[in-house]
């Protein structure tokens, strides 16, 4: 559904404690009033998401952050000025009144202002910040079209706003400001290079003693059902001789004949275009009942870092996931 009246209807649903799927520039989100714990609880149920995984709070104006956090460090301010609305999420110390279910009991909150007119109108008309994870079952690929949401969660959400395909295609970059030096928790739609050009070096390695503070950082996440192997060469193809294999190619490839099916992310090798196509292309391959998907590596510059991060997580073996504990498909996967 789309159009102004539909947005007003969606806002009514949010105010009444319902849940609405909505487009952002990165991926589709599944939103509820951030100050309504029962509504937020429904998001966790529908996604089958563990309660230790906090949500991002979406605002419609940078000034709305003040009410949600204790203080905004100057580096966070600079990035907000430069990149909002846009695919950057900042993690800051939270104000007490944000419900615990939103932040998984942490003393911090993740906040972003999405760059999509429908998302912004929805938040404004709802007159509350909207807590929203990506609108996919936990552990599966994020949706980049309204149809993806419809296929996987359609009968369980109150309304799906259709804003067309997401232009960025990978989730927001998450940056935490809890320590002296900002730390990258998840590479995403704003590149590390862009961030560092404004605030200088940021920490990119995970904190040593850390439990994964963002399940988007769990080894196996963003995973399709078909196993993915990252990187391939002719030798690999020999090993998998009688298997049905799909190729996820970065640019135009001459190897079509060697594979059952090929998805090219960007014919001309444009990383932005590749990111925008990534999840939909993996979904198409995943629907073909393949034995294996082989994915080409992409240069880790700009958005390439976020793409490779998602591909690495999608390609982790099931048993190496801390949540799976040897049980195939338990927990982290659908």
Chain residues binding Mg ion by CB under 5 A are 134
Total binding residues toward ligand TXA, as defined by CB under 6 A: 29
Q: Are 264 and 284 in contact (CB under 8 A)?
A: no
Q: Which residues of 39-78 are buried (b: 16+ CB within 10 A; e: fewer)?
A: bbebbbebbebeeebbbbbbbbeeebbeebbeebbebbee
* Minimum CB distance to ligand TXA smaller for 59 or for 214: 214
Q: Which partner from the list ligand TXA, Mg ion, none does 300 bind, CB cut-off 5 to 8 Å by kind? A: none
User: At a CB cut-off of 8 Å and minimum separation 6, what does 227 contact?
Assistant: 291, 292, 293, 315
In the bound complex, what is the minimum distance in angstroms from residue 305's beta carbon to ligand TXA?
15
* Minimum CB distance to ligand TXA smaller for 133 or for 163: 133
CA-based nearest residue to 27, from 115, 101, 91:
115
Q: How far apart are CA 90 and CA 72, in angstroms?
A: 10
In the bound complex, what is the minimum distance in angstroms from residue 232's beta carbon to ligand TXA?
28
* Minimum CB distance to ligand TXA smaller for 224 or for 246: 224
* Minimum CB distance to ligand TXA smaller for 47 or for 292: 47
Q: How far apart are CA 245 and CA 241, in angstroms?
A: 9
Q: Which stretch binds ligand TXA (CB under 6 A): 51-59, 150-158, 195-203, 306-314?
A: 51-59
Which of 21, 32, 39, 55 touches ligand TXA by CB under 6 A? 55
Q: How far apart are CA 57 and CA 316, in angstroms?
A: 29
What would you measure as the largest C-alpha separation in the chain, in angstroms? Answer: 59
Check residue 11 for interaction with ligand TXA (CB under 6 A).
Answer: no
Which of 75, 115, 152, 172 touches ligand TXA by CB under 6 A? 172
* Minimum CB distance to Mg ion smaller for 10 or for 214: 214
In the bound complex, what is the minimum distance in angstroms from residue 282's beta carbon to ligand TXA?
16
Q: How far apart are CA 35 and CA 113, in angstroms?
A: 17
Q: What separation in angstroms does the CA of 173 have from each of 36, 128, 217?
A: 26, 23, 12
Q: What separation in angstroms does the CA of 73 have from each of 77, 176, 181, 197, 330?
A: 6, 11, 11, 17, 40
* Minimum CB distance to ligand TXA smaller for 107 or for 236: 107
Check residue 216 for interaction with ligand TXA (CB under 6 A).
Answer: yes
* Minimum CB distance to Mg ion smaller for 8 or for 217: 217
Check residue 91 for interaction with ligand TXA (CB under 6 A).
Answer: yes
- Tokens for 299, please give them: 């240069």
In the bound complex, what is the minimum distance in angstroms from residue 234's beta carbon to Mg ion?
35
The residues binding ligand TXA (CB under 6 A) are: 24, 26-27, 29, 53-56, 87, 89, 91, 103, 106, 108-110, 112, 114, 132-134, 171-172, 174, 185, 213-216
């Amino acid at each position: 559904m789309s159009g102004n009246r539909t947005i007003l209807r969606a806002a009514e649903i949010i105010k009444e404690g319902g849940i609405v799927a909505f487009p952002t520039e990165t991926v589709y989100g599944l939103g509820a009033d951030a100050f309504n714990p029962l509504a937020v609880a429904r998001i966790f149920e529908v996604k089958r998401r563990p309660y230790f995984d906090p949500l991002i709070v979406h605002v419609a104006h940078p000034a709305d952050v003040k009410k949600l956090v204790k203080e905004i460090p100057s580096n966070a301010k600079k990035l907000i000025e430069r990149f909002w609305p846009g695919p950057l999420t900042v993690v800051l110390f939270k104000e007490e009144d944000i419900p615990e279910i939103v932040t998984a009991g942490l003393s911090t909150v993740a906040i972003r202002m999405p760059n999509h007119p429908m998302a912004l109108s929805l938040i404004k008309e709802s007159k509350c910040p909207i807590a929203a994870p990506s609108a996919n079952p936990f552990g599966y690929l994020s949706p980049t079209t309204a149809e993806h949401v419809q296929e996987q969660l359609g009968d369980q959400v109150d309304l799906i706003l259709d804003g067309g395909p997401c232009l960025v295609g990978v989730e927001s970059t998450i940056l935490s400001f809890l320590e002296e030096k900002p730390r990258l928790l998840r590479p995403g739609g704003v590149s590390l290079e862009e961030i560092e050009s404004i605030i200088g070096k940021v920490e990119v390695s995970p904190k040593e003693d850390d439990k994964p503070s963002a399940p988007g950082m769990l080894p196996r996440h963003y995973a399709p059902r078909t196993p993915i192997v990252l990187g391939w060469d002719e030798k690999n193809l020999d090993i998998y001789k009688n298997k049905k294999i799909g190729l996820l190619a970065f640019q135009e490839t001459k190897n079509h004949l060697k594979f059952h099916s090929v998805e090219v992310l960007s014919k001309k090798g444009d990383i932005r275009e590749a990111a925008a196509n990534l999840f939909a292309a993996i979904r198409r391959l995943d629907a073909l009942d393949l034995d294996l998907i082989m994915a080409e590596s992409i240069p880790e510059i700009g958005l390439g870092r976020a793409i490779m991060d998602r591909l690495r997580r999608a390609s982790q073996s099931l048993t190496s996931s801390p949540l799976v504990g040897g049980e195939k498909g338990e927990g982290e996967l659908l």
